[in-house]
A and B are shown apart, each in its own frame.
Chain A
């Protein structure tokens, strides 16, 4: 069945460092791909998405490119801030377009 695999955390960075969180997926066809962020004590917020191959989603300085050759959707940011500390979830929309399947999440901790 469909699944998402994320790199294990936690990821600990200093402010202004470069961030990469790896995400790969297994799915039938070409699903839409998403990154959600969960700040401490809050629900999930959509960070960015891509609906077809080679699409680049971007928001708040974060980017991710849909790579069908490598079935990947890695999240990147050039310069992280303390306020980016959160848990990041990669997800895909199942083929029917009806529900999200999530990875286990990657915790990011940024120190000043």
Chain B
């Protein structure tokens, strides 16, 4: 079974530029997550989708970050304009469905962003 696919794996941009990350979840997974992992810290949830609707985006810095999952499958996370503190690994994850105790969340390999 194919896992969660992400691209690009690595990206270096200058501050104030924009960047977009793409994610394709495991087939059949209704729930998709974007997490931000800053070096030395645990991942922090940015946004969660259930199919093509947003469930939780309370931690998403909406002045510069946006995400969409238009057809309820793959998703794009965009940062514009980027700041130095956005340097992190952006992890996409998916699960069959949210809302039950046995829910297992599977992660992609991450997109590593460096803002200079």
B91 to chain A, nearest CB (A): 6
Min C-beta distance of A10 to chain B, whole Å: 11
Please report the C-alpha to C-alpha distance between residue A98 and residue B47 in the assembled complex, in whole angstroms: 11
B20 within 8 A of A: no
Chain B residue with minimal CB distance to A107?
B40
Using A98-B55, A99-B45, A99-B48 as known contacts, say yes or no to A43 and B109 having CB atoms under 8 A apart: yes
Contacts of A91 in B (CB 8 A): 42
Residues of A within 8 A of B109 (CB): 42-43
What is the CA–CA distance of A99 and B108 in the complex, to the nearest angstrom?
Answer: 16
Q: What 0/1 readout, one digit per residue, does chain B (80-116) give for beta carbons within 8 Å of chain A?
A: 0000000000010100001111111111111000000
A residues less than 8 Å from B55 (CB atoms)? 98
Q: A43-B108, A96-B98 are in contact. List 6 more A-B contacts (CB 8 A).
A: A32-B101, A32-B103, A97-B98, A97-B100, A98-B31, A104-B40
Known contacts A43-B107, A46-B106, A98-B48: A51-B41 contact under CB 8 Å: no
- A: which residues have CB within 8 A of B? 4, 31-32, 36, 42-46, 49, 51-52, 89, 91, 93, 96-105
Q: Residue B43 at the A interface, CB < 8 A?
A: yes
Contact between chains at A98 and B98 (CB < 8 Å): yes
Closest Cβ–Cβ distance, residue B68 to chain A (whole Å): 19
- Could you tell me the distance between the alpha carbons of A89 and B35 in the complex, rounded to whole angstroms? 14
A56 CB, min distance to chain B CBs, angstroms: 16
